[in-house]
Amino acid sequence: MKFITSVLFMIMAITSTAYSSEKEECKVKSLVEKVITPQNNCVSFSVSSGTGCSWMCSYCANSLGTNNYYFTDGVCKYESDGCVGNPQVGVTYTCCSA
């Protein structure tokens, strides 16, 4: 009986430590997310094969409600030929209002 009580106490201690650790990890993640979250309005998306920067620029302008935005990774840029770049399938792109 003493052995079972000791084992139960150890399980409770481990569980309590793990739970406490998870709570602390959540607090840290929450603080980090608040710090690194852009203050500007942003949208993230990925594209399928054949999608170009023209569509991406239109999507960002419509989603953000402005033509004054930027891509966080610079994938698309305005040049004399319009919105150009080389987006890749499977990549998450983010644009933010400036």
| pTM value > 0.85 | no
Give the domain range for residue 55: 42-97
The answer to whether residues 53 and 93 belong to one domain is yes
Phi then psi for residue 67, to 5 deg, are -95, 0
| pLDDT tens per residue across all 98 residues of the chain | 454 434 334 444 444 444 444 444 444 344 344 444 445 699 999 999 999 999 999 999 999 999 999 999 999 999 998 999 999 999 999 999 98
In the chain, how many domains are there?
2
pLDDT of residue 71: 96
The answer to whether residues 29 and 47 belong to one domain is no
| Beta-strand runs (E) in the chain | 42-45, 69-71, 76-79, 82-85, 93-97
For residue 44, give Cα distances in angstroms to 3, 19, 69. 55, 32, 13
pLDDT of residue 81: 87
Assign 30 to helix, strand or coil: helix
pLDDT of residue 26: 42
